[in-house]
Amino acid sequence: MKLINLIENKPVEGGLRYEHGLSFYVETQKHRLLIDTGASDAFLYNADMLGVDLSRVDTVILSHGHYDHTGGVLAFAQRNPHANIYLQKTAGAEYYHKDAQSERYIGIDKRILALPQVHLMDGNYVIDDGISVFTHVTGRKLWPAGNHALKQKTGEQFIDDSFCHEQYVVLSEAGKKILISGCAHNGIVNILDTYRSLYGGAPDVVFSGFHMKKSSDYTEAEKQNIRATGAELAKLPTIFYTGHCTSEAGYQLLYEIMGEQLRESHTGDQFQF
């Protein structure tokens, strides 16, 4: 299995573009997949620079209904109108970032929902014996503090986003299981609890942002929450690759607990499993 990080937040050398977004390209024995498409068409440029032929992609999976993971879908669909695109049916709702200073729509472009190759799912789904997705993570242990400003608008009312639109990809090949999550809004510990109930044990490798990014410094309670998350993850026989919405400060707090079990994943990075 081969995985390439097509775009992420951090500037890198080599002329590759970066943005607040995330996109992975994956090759398995049976499939060529795209998991998320960043915030714009910049990932297409990076794919070309990295020698990735996106016209051969057969499956696209969108981790949740936020612009920074779906913003490149329409541009991708012009280049490749044949790949099946999978997202939860709740991903098309009205999602906002709202705090005391501002109110900003962060949901998907609604034109995506009208694409003929889009499949709107309602819950867990098995694509084949090598690819499945799961959702409905209901635990709230070690809830990411970055979620508090994320809302869903229903009529004129704003309610806390439940992240029922978030889904997680499980890739199985050659005896290994790899879990890919976009932002882990539901909390990586809760996601792994649900994974265990469905698949048993723990995945060999996880790629995920942890949504610890904040515009202000962490409170002591938030630091403790991150350290407790690291302590839970350190119990598992799993290697974790992270970036995007984790933040440098969050990464360092986790690394203090997890050491080399935690690794960075940035634009252009390539992995072989």
* pTM summary value: 0.97
Label the pairing between strands 125-128 and 118-121.
unpaired
Which pLDDT score is estimated for 146?
Answer: 85
Q: What is the pLDDT of residues 195-223, one digit of tens each?
A: 999 999 999 999 999 999 887 789 999 99
Which pLDDT score is estimated for 176?
Answer: 95
Which pLDDT score is estimated for 45?
Answer: 98
Within the chain, which residues score under 50 in pLDDT? none
Tokens in use for 152?
Answer: 């869903």
Kindly state the helix (H) or strand (E) to which residue 75 belongs, with its residue range. Answer: helix 73-79
Dihedral through CA 8, CA 12, CA 16, CA 21, nearest 10?
Answer: 10
On the 0-12 / 13-18 / 19+ scale of CB atoms within 10 A, 197 is: exposed
Amino acid at residue number 151: K
Which pLDDT score is estimated for 13?
Answer: 87
Which pLDDT score is estimated for 101?
Answer: 86
Which pLDDT score is estimated for 215?
Answer: 76
Which pLDDT score is estimated for 188?
Answer: 98
| 3-state percent helix, strand, coil for the chain, nearest multiple of 5 | 30, 30, 45
